C-alpha cells in the first residue's frame, strides 16, 4: 500500500494537510453529507473493504528527497507553498486507503469503478479511490471545503543507472507536447495562469507533477497541460529536447569541446555540495542492491552516457497510466466528482493496459551485522570542515500499512 499512495500524497497531501489543519477544528464536527451530495458528486454512503498488505518494496518507496528541483525555473507559489510539507499528517489516510481486492461500488463514470470510499473526520474530507477500467490507473479524489484546488500525477521511476534519466525526463516533458507545442509551456503557465503552485520533482524512485490554483477553470487547464505533457511530450520524438535539457557538446572560449545541458550543469552544482555528496554516499551504502544505489538526479560523469534511444524507451515504459497515480483535491462545488473523472478520463481512455515490466523497487536485505564505516572526500578550501552522518537500515522485512 505504501508504494502506491506515498507518491501522490508526498506531492499533494502536504498542501491538503496544511490547509485543512487551519479549519479542521471548526469543520471537524460538521456533517459531511453536503460533500457527498454536492454538485455532480458521486453518490453512496461509507463503505469499507479489506486492505492489502504492504509488500517488501512498499517500505522502500516512501523514502527519499528530491534530487533535482527545476533549477532554472522559478518555484512559483503563494498559498500553495505548503504543497510538499510532508506525510506526517497523512498517516491515517495512508493506513486506510490501501487498494482492496474487490470493487465496492459503481463510480458513476463508465471509464472508472469506485474502489473505496472513506470519510476522514479529522480533516472534514471525503476520499474516493477509483480505478480506471482499461489501464488500471488509480485516481484518489478528496472532497473538502477548501478554496484551494490541487491536481497531481506521479509515476514510479526507479533508475537503472546514474545517467539521470528520470531527472532529465522530468525537465524534458515540460518542453512542449502534442496539444501544447510551445517551446516551454511551463514558463508560460508561470506567467499567464492563476496557479498558486506549479512545479515538478524527481525523487530517487518517483517523479511528481503537482499543480494548484484557487480558480476551478484554471486548475482544469493546468491539469490538461500537465497530462498532455507527461503522456504526449515533444521530447519523445525530438532529440533536440534531450540535448537541451540533458547534455550536448559545446565549443568553449578556448575552442575546446565541453559538455553542457540544463540538468548536466545543475548536477555539477549538486556534486560540488558536501551535504549532497554525503547524503548520496550514505544512500548507496545502505542500499547497494536496489535502485537506490543509483543517482536519479544524474552523476555528471555518467550523464553523457545517456542516449536518445534509452531516453525514449524509459518514457514508453514508465510514463504509462498503469504506472501512474492521480490525485485531485478541493471543493466539489467548484470541480465536481464527475468533472474530475471526466478530466482524467480524456487522457487515460487513449491508452490500453500495458507496461510489461514490474517497476517496484526491490527490498534491500541487511548485508552487514556490525556498523559499517565510510570515509568520503569532498572538495573544500582551506577552512573546510569535517562532516559526520549516522544512518540505519531500519526495515529489511515487509512492513504492515500501519507501521510507523
Spot the catalytic one: 245, 250, 255, 397: 245
Q: Name the residue with cell 476520499.
A: 127
Q: Name the residue with cell 490547509.
A: 19
Cα–Cα distances in Å, from 170 out to 184, 189, 229, 314? 13, 16, 10, 12
**CA–CA separation, 107 and 345 (whole Å):** 12
Question: What's the half-sphere exposure (Cβ side, CA atoms, 13 Å) at 265?
Answer: 13
Spot the catalytic one: 117, 145, 170, 266: 170
Q: Number of helices and strands (H, E) in the chain?
A: 12, 13
DSSP-based three-state secondary structure for 267: helix
**CA–CA separation, 295 and 161 (whole Å):** 7
Let me know if 249 is exposed, middle or buried by CB neighbors in 10 A (0-12, 13-18, 19+). exposed
Nearest Cα residue to 163 out of 274, 29, 326, 310? 310
Q: Is 245 a catalytic residue?
A: yes
Q: Is 170 a catalytic residue?
A: yes
Distance of CA 95 to the CA centre of its chain: 19
The C-alpha angle with vertex 344 and arms to 296 and 58, in degrees rounded to 5, equals 40
**CA–CA separation, 190 and 68 (whole Å):** 19
**Separation of first and last alpha carbons in the chain:** 13
**CA–CA separation, 298 and 329 (whole Å):** 32
**CA–CA separation, 87 and 11 (whole Å):** 9
Q: Name the residue with cell 485516481.
A: 139
**CA–CA separation, 142 and 247 (whole Å):** 40
**CA–CA separation, 180 and 176 (whole Å):** 6
Backbone angles phi, psi at 315, to 5 degrees: -65, -45
Catalytically active residues are 170, 245
Amino acid at each position: 500500500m505504501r508504494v502506491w499512495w506515498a507518491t501522490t500524497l508526498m506531492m499533494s497531501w502536504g498542501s491538503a494537510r496544511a490547509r485543512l489543519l487551519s479549519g479542521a477544528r471548526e469543520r471537524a464536527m460538521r456533517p459531511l453529507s453536503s460533500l457527498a451530495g454536492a454538485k455532480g458528486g458521486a453518490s453512496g454512503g461509507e463503505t469499507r473493504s479489506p486492505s492489502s498488505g504492504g509488500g517488501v518494496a512498499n517500505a522502500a518507496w516512501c523514502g527519499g528527497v528530491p534530487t533535482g528541483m527545476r533549477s532554472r525555473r522559478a518555484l512559483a507559489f503563494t498559498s500553495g507553498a505548503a504543497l510538499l510539507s510532508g506525510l506526517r499528517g497523512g498517516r491515517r489516510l495512508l493506513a486506510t486507503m490501501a487498494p482492496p481486492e474487490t470493487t465496492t461500488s459503481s463510480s458513476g463514470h463508465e471509464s472508472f469503478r469506485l474502489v473505496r470510499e472513506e470519510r476522514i473526520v479529522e480533516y472534514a474530507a471525503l476520499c474516493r479511490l477509483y480505478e480506471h477500467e482499461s489501464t488500471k490507473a488509480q485516481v484518489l479524489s478528496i472532497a473538502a471545503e477548501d478554496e484551494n484546488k490541487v491536481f497531481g500525477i506521479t509515476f514510479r521511476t526507479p533508475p537503472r543507472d546514474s545517467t539521470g534519466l528520470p531527472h532529465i525526463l522530468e525537465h524534458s516533458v515540460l518542453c512542449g507536447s502534442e496539444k501544447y507545442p510551445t517551446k516551454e509551456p511551463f514558463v508560460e503557465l508561470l506567467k499567464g495562469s492563476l496557479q498558486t503552485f506549479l512545479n515538478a520533482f524527481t525523487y530517487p524512485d518517483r517523479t511528481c507533477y503537482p499543480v494548484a490554483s484557487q480558480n476551478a477553470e484554471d486548475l482544469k487547464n493546468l491539469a490538461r497541460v500537465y497530462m498532455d505533457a507527461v503522456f504526449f511530450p515533444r521530447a519523445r520524438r525530438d532529440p533536440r529536447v534531450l540535448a537541451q535539457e540533458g547534455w550536448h557538446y559545446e565549443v568553449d572560449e578556448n575552442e575546446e569541446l565541453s559538455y553542457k545541458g540544463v540538468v548536466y550543469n545543475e548536477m555539477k552544482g549538486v556534486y560540488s555540495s558536501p551535504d549532497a555528496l554525503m547524503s548520496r554516499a550514505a544512500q548507496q551504502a545502505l542500499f547497494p542492491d536496489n535502485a537506490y544505489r543509483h543517482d536519479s538526479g544524474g552523476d555528471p560523469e555518467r550523464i553523457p552516457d545517456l542516449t536518445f534511444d534509452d531516453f525514449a524507451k524509459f518514457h514508453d515504459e514508465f510514463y504509462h497510466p498503469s504506472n501512474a497515480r492521480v490525485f485531485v483535491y478541493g471543493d466539489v462545488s467548484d470541480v465536481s466528482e464527475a468533472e474530475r473523472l471526466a478530466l482524467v478520463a480524456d487522457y487515460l481512455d487513449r491508452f490500453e493496459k500495458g507496461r510489461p515490466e514490474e517497476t517496484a523497487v526491490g527490498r534491500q536485505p541487511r548485508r552487514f551485522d556490525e556498523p559499517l564505516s565510510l570515509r568520503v572526500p569532498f572538495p573544500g578550501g582551506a577552512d573546510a570542515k569535517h562532516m559526520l552522518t549516522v544512518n540505519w537500515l531500519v526495515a529489511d522485512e515487509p512492513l504492515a500499512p500501519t507501521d510507523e
